[in-house]
Amino acid sequence: MNRWLNSHLQTLKQVIARWRQHLFSNLLISLTIAVTLALPVIVYLVLTSFSHLTSTIQSDSHISVFLSSSATPTTIDSIHNILTTKEMIAQFHFVPKAEALKQLMMDSNNSNIISTLPENPLPDAFFIEPKSLASEAIEQLKNELAQLDGVEAVQVDDAWLKRLSYLLTLGQKALLVLASLLGFALFMVIGNTIRMQILTQQEEIEVSQLIGATHRFIRRPFLYAGAIYGFVGALFALIISTAVIALFNLSISALATAYQSDFSLRLPSLEVTLITCLTAIGIGLFSAYFAVAKSLFKSIQ
């Protein structure tokens, strides 16, 4: 165990020494990796900022509850009582049908038509302003309200919210495609770099194999190199995306103040940092493994 750990440490030291020998070109490669990684990270951060926005922003969006024409004052009262107990509701008000008709009559065009009607066609209605705009919570509230006695229809005015969330879903799909494509690019960049290294160390690999090195032993330093490219690339990528988001936020904050909002794009969280690093290291290991498998073991038989 000790020996095993020791030889891993030794390999790591050796790989880091080699890294520093070609510091400049390795930094350039890491920057290439970083730019490739930073793109999906930035898109992800922008998307999550907006999807967070849809669940916190207050708007004039509301729920209209239309009562059936047969609703008696007692049913209206009991609905009123139920609404006051709902956590989800910020505020609401009741508009009786007579009131609604009066408002409608104020428009002279309408008044002519309406006065020809035998009776008031409008229903009593509650207008509700929900606390949260999370679409699931609203959907649930809507269903609960529709179940109530005397309720004819429940209508949610959240068309723009729906549109935004469709856009966000589309954005998430695009992000997935972008991340896969760039992941593949990363795989190729690291793989090619490792293949170049293998070429310069072909003699060492050959001799090592002749005197009893296992495939695992030969693969090990290249796996470390791949992982290090991924890790350093990920660190640079996080720096780049933090800088870009901070730059965006400068102009957004001016805009947001004008709209009296404190909206800003989110910086990489711990979770994003970890996932970026682990993904990059994973891709580095994976592509190094393939590069070694393809380039090695030609020397014998």
Partner 1 sequence: MIVLDNVTKRYPGSQDVLSNASLQIEQGEMVYVTGHSGAGKSTLLKLIAAIERPSNGTVLINQQNVSKLRESALPYIRRKFGLVFQDHKLLYDRSCFHNVALPLAINGITGADAAKRIRAALDKVGLLHKEKMMPITLSGGEQQRLAIARAVVSRPSILIADEPTGHLDQTYADDILSLFSAFQQVGVTVIIATHDALTTAKQPHKVLHLNQGRLSMPEVSV
Binding site for partner 1 (CB under 8 A): 3-4, 6-7, 10, 203-204, 206-215, 217, 300-301
Distance in Å, CB of 9 to partner 1, minimum = 8
Residue 229 CB, shortest distance to partner 1, in Å, is 21
Closest to partner 1 by CB, 129 vs 206, is 206
Phi, psi of 131 (to 5 degrees): -70, -50
In the complex, minimum distance from the CB of residue 180 to partner 1, in angstroms, rounded to a whole number: 34
Task: Report which of 54, 296, 30 is spatially closest to residue 189, judged by C-alpha positions.
Answer: 30
Residue 229: which of 199, 266, 274, 187 has the closest Cα? 187
Q: Are 295 and 215 in contact (CB under 8 A)?
A: no
Encoding tokens for residue 255? 């805009």
- Least Å distance, CB 290 to partner 1, is 19
Give me the least distance between CB of 15 and partner 1, in Å please.
13
Nearer to partner 1 by Cβ, of 68 and 214: the residue is: 214
CB of 225 to partner 1, least distance (A): 16
Nearer to partner 1, 213 or 275 (CB): 213
Q: Residues near 122 by Cβ (< 8 Å), separated by ≥ 6? A: 97, 100, 101, 104
* Residue number with CB closer to partner 1 (258 or 300): 300
Closer CB to partner 1, 134 or 213, in the complex: 213
229 class by beta-carbon count within 10 Å (0-12 exposed, 13-18 middle, 19+ buried): buried
Beta bridge partners of 128: 63, 92
What is the token pair recorded at 143? Answer: 């269903």
CB-based contact 43:249 (threshold 8 Å) = no
Please identify, using beta-carbon distances, which residue of 209 and 249 lies nearer to partner 1: 209
